Structures are given as C-alpha cells and as structure tokens.
C-alpha cells in the first residue's frame, strides 16, 4: 500500500520585514558600534533573504514602541522562557489554522482527517496544539494525535514517515500533518557568531499537508507518492548545531562549520537513498532541499553536481521567507507543486533537511500527475497537432 501527499497549505504571520529592517533592530538591540553595525548589515545581505515574517511587530518598530521586548535601552528585563511560551501558546493556533485553511482552499471534496500529527521545536504546552486544533477544526475527539517535538529543521520528515506508516497500516486513513514554528520569539541578545548567524536566518511560518492512501484525482495539482526515506547521522557535526532551552528562551548553536560537515556526508547518504529507490540521479526531475542557508544549498549543489537553477525552489523560499525550521521544506514542495500546475509532468523529487546531531533526513517523492476531467481531455485532444501535419 502506498501513501500520497495530496494537498499542501502554508501560512506566515502578518508582520513581514525586510532583512535591512531586521538588521537595524538587531544592531540597536545589541547596541553595536558603527563598524560592527556595518558588518552585521553585510552578513544579512549575504544570506540571500529579502524578507522574513514574525508574530512580533517589534522587529520593525522603533525603540520605545516594542510590544513584547522591554522598552529599555538594554531590553531588560529580558523575556524569560515562561513569557515566550505564553506568546507561543497565544500565536501558534491561529497560524496553524491559517495553513490548514490554505490547504483546503482549493479542495473540491470534504476531507475528514483520521489522524493529526503536529510538529514544532519552538514551543510546547499541554494540553497542546494538537488538542487546540481538534477543537478549532471541529474534528472528532477520537481523532488519533501524535506530537513530534524538538527535532529542528528535519521534523517534517519524521512526520511524513509517521503518516506513511499510518496509511500503510490502514489504507482508509487520512493524516493531517501540521508544522508550526515561531523561531523569532527566541531572539537572544548575544554577539557571538552562532547567535548573529541564527538571528540572520530564522523566521516564523506554518505548513500543513494531507497524506492519504490514494492520489487526489479531483484537482489539477499533482499528488506526491512517498517512495523512499533515508536517515543518517553525521557524528562529526554533533557540536556544530544544537537547540538548548535556557532561562531566557531557546538558544541555537549554528556554527560556520555546518556546511563542511554536510559536504563530507551528503554524497554518500543521498547515494544510499537513490540505491534504495532503484533510481539514479538522472531520474530526479525536481529538488526540494531545505534552505537552511545559502552556503548549505551551495554545498548540496556541488556534491550532487546540479546547477543553482535546479535548486531554484529552495532559493525562492529562502528569499521570500527565510528559514522557518520544520515548515520550510513543505513551503518548497508547495512551490514545486504550483510550478507543476503550469508545466505538468511525471518524475521524481529528491528532498533533504538537516538538524541537530548532525542529522540528515532525506526522501524521494514520485510525482503523480493529475488526470484531466473528460471535458478538458477532449479539448486537449481537439487542439492537438495531427501526427501527419
């Protein structure tokens, strides 16, 4: 029994800021002198990010107008974990619902999920987001719930593997996966390289997908058959990426050596993924790489021997939204799906993401083109050029 991604929805918070706006906030909050302010602006320009979104208006506000951070020169008293989790609990549900509403916006059928999987590494509470979604969506209280927490940028892969297992065990299952990340509520006013880099990359966003036991033939967008998964651990990078809960929020460790570690391990890992699928790199027609950062995408291209244009959907998501942790790769898949609406065709998608460990998760999805309705098919045939023309 196979499983299929049949719908994808995404959402970002209402507050969107240019990288230069955010850099200005950071320079002010970190109280940088002019030379270090210019260095910070250069770092932000090099990210290839144009814009990021946050549940907080503060990143575009002037000092004295903050709504979450204290309106003091040094932002003291700095928000605690408890304060940040209160904000997470307030903002998580509306953003998750917005992604689900986007998923259902072009559905021509009524879909009742039997399972709900929630993914997040930026906040937790109990009763949690899963139960809040059951109530907000009016789902049966018997809906089976699974929470995947604190796995970082590769969390969506574990959710999709779990959904795949549910559908293979019960072909009538319909699994709703929701990835929700509020990365920007964890800003840390530290000037070491790790924090400067993470503050330059991460953003807020949510994505939702439906996983079912058959492709959705009732809409023009393709479905994606979940063909093969592969996970590997690169122990040499264990200290290069981390996500730690401290007194004043969750703190990211993200060193400049992460691309080097990925370079050493990604080639072999993706070769084993292709071998499991019985495919060669020539069989891959689309790439859905998690845009963890510009250098990471460039390393992937070098190791796979592909051009930046082939990786353009990841760059587009990075440019428009930044790194939204677990939700980001689903934004990339939606970009590919939208592209296939205008240029339909079969093929395979290679996708991967990285996280603490250093963990590499990867998968191959088979593109299942939509079937044109009978009337549309007749029109297409009627305008086809005869073979003897």
- Judgement on whether residues 188 and 131 belong to the same structural domain of the protein: yes
Domain membership of residue 297 (yes or no) is yes
Structure letter (DSSP) for residue 344? -
**What residue has token string 């903050």?**
66
Please determine, for residue 387, whether its predicted confidence score (pLDDT) is greater than 70.
no
In the predicted structure, residue 266 carries a pLDDT above the cut 70: yes
| pLDDT mean over 158-177 | 97
- Tallying the residues shown for the chain, one arrives at 389
Q: Same domain, yes or no, for 162 and 306?
A: no
* Residue ranges of E strands in 197-246: 204-212, 223-233, 241-246
Task: Determine, yes or no, domain membership for 97.
Answer: yes
pLDDT band at 324, cuts 50/70/90? Answer: very high
> pTM (2 decimals)?
0.93
CATH for 54? 3.40.47.10
Tell whether 108 and 244 lie within a shared domain. Answer: no
Residue 108 has pLDDT above 70, yes or no: yes
Q: Are residues 195 and 340 in the same domain?
A: no
Question: Which active-site residues does the annotation give?
Answer: 153
Opening angle at CA 256, ends 333 and 200, nearest 5: 60
| Shared-domain flag, residues 45 and 171 | yes
Reported confidence tier of residue 372, pLDDT bands at 50, 70, 90: low
Q: Which residues does 36 contact at the CB level (< 8 Å), separation at least 6? A: 27, 191
> So what's the pLDDT on residue 256?
77
- The answer as to whether 350 is a domain residue is yes
Question: What is the number of structural domains in the chain?
Answer: 2
First-to-last alpha carbon distance for the chain, in angstroms, is 44
User: Are 137 and 208 found together in one domain?
Assistant: yes
208 and 279 share one domain? no
**Residue 299 falls inside a structural domain:** yes
By residue range, what is the domain housing residue 184? 4-212
pLDDT of 19-32, one tens digit each?
Answer: 999 999 999 999 99
128 shares its domain with 9:
yes
* Average pLDDT over the chain, rounded to an integer: 91
Residue 225: both structure tokens together: 């058959």
Are 60 and 206 found together in one domain?
yes
């Amino acid at each position: 029994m196979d499983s299929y991604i049949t719908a994808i929805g995404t959402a970002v918070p209402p507050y969107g800021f240019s990288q230069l706006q955010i850099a200005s906030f950071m320079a002010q909050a970190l109280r940088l002198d002019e030379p270090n302010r210019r260095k910070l602006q250069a770092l932000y320009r090099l990210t290839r990010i144009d814009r990021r979104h946050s549940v907080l208006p503060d990143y575009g506000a002037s000092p004295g107008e903050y709504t979450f951070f204290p309106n003091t020169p040094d932002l003291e008293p700095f928000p605690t974990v408890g304060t940040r989790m209160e904000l997470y609990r307030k903002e998580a549900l509306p953003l998750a619902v917005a992604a689900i509403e986007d998923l259902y916006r072009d559905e021509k059928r009524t879909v009742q999920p039997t399972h709900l999987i929630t993914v997040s590494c930026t906040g937790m509470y109990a009763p949690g987001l899963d139960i809040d979604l059951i109530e907000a969506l009016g789902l049966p209280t018997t809906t089976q719930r699974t929470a995947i927490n604190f796995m970082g940028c590769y969390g969506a892969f574990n959710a999709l593997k779990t959904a795949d297992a549910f559908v293979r065990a019960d072909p009538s299952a319909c699994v709703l996966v929701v990835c929700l990340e509020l990365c920007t509520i964890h800003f840390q006013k530290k000037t070491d390289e790790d924090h400067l880099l993470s503050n330059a990359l991460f953003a807020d966003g949510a994505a939702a997908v439906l996983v079912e036991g058959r492709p959705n033939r009732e809409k023009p967008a393709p479905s994606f058959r979940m063909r093969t998964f592969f996970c590997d651990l690169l122990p040499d990078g264990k200290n290069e990426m981390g996500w730690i809960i401290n007194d004043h929020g969750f703190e990211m460790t993200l060193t400049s050596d992460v691309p080097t570690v990925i370079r050493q391990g990604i080639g072999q890992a993706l070769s084993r993924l292709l071998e499991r699928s019985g495919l060669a790199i020539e069989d891959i027609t689309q790439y859905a790489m998690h845009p963890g950062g510009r250098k990471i995408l460039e390393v992937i291209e070098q190791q796979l021997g592909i051009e930046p244009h082939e990786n353009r959907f990841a760059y587009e998501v990075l440019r428009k939204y930044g790194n939204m942790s677990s939700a980001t790769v689903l934004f990339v898949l939606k970009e590919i799906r939208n592209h296939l609406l205008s240029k339909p065709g079969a093929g395979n998608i290679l996708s991967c993401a990285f996280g603490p460990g250093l963990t590499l998760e990867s998968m191959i999805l088979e593109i299942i083109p939509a079937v044109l309705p009978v009337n549309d098919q007749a029109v297409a045939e009627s305008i086809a050029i005869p073979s003897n023309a």
